[in-house]
Amino acid sequence: MAIEYRTGNGLDPDQAIDLYRASTLGERRPVDDRARMAQMLAQANLVITAWDGPLLVGISRALSDYCYVTYLADLAARDSHQRQLIGQELMRRTQAAGGEAYMVLLAAPKAVDYYPHVGFTRHESAWMLRAGETIARRERVD
């Protein structure tokens, strides 16, 4: 059966959670917090999914301004559907939907070597502040 691609974030959170758990991405997302996962899906403004019949087999969940930058927050393909180029097609469609925006992502540890093979360039100055961490107050020096 051919893979069907769809755009839109009106997903059933349980189907998405099942996909995340059936991929390595489930290890790094709050899959045990259904409400949070539902909000993650609902608030993303660019979601593209891959379907094998009624089964959700891939997702690209992104935030985009459609003119400058698209942040690819999640890219996942079900383990049973790996090596079918689903991830690459999801990225192509995400890039096309983003207009002239460039695409940026934080690679999962297991995927660091994957992205250069599909055309991404490493960027050495990404920074993160996790939930619960605070901005350090620094005195102004004149």
CB 28 within 8 A of CB 108: yes
- Does residue 43 fall inside a structural domain? yes
Which domain range does residue 38 map to? 4-118
CATH number of the CATH domain containing 90: 3.40.630.30
CB 75 within 8 A of CB 59: yes
The pLDDT assigned to 12 comes to 95
pLDDT in 10s for each residue of the chain, 142 residues: 699 999 998 999 999 999 999 998 888 899 999 999 999 999 999 999 999 999 999 999 999 999 999 999 999 999 999 889 999 999 999 999 988 999 999 988 888 888 999 999 998 888 888 889 999 888 777 6
The pLDDT assigned to 108 comes to 82
pTM, entire model:
0.89
CB 7 within 8 A of CB 47: yes
The pLDDT assigned to 73 comes to 95
Q: What's the structural domain count of the chain?
A: 1
Ramachandran category for residue 5: left, alpha or beta (phi over 0 → left; psi -120 to 50 → alpha) = beta
- Does residue 32 fall inside a structural domain? yes
CB 7 within 8 A of CB 48: yes
The pLDDT assigned to 27 comes to 86
Residues in the chain: 142
- Does residue 49 fall inside a structural domain? yes
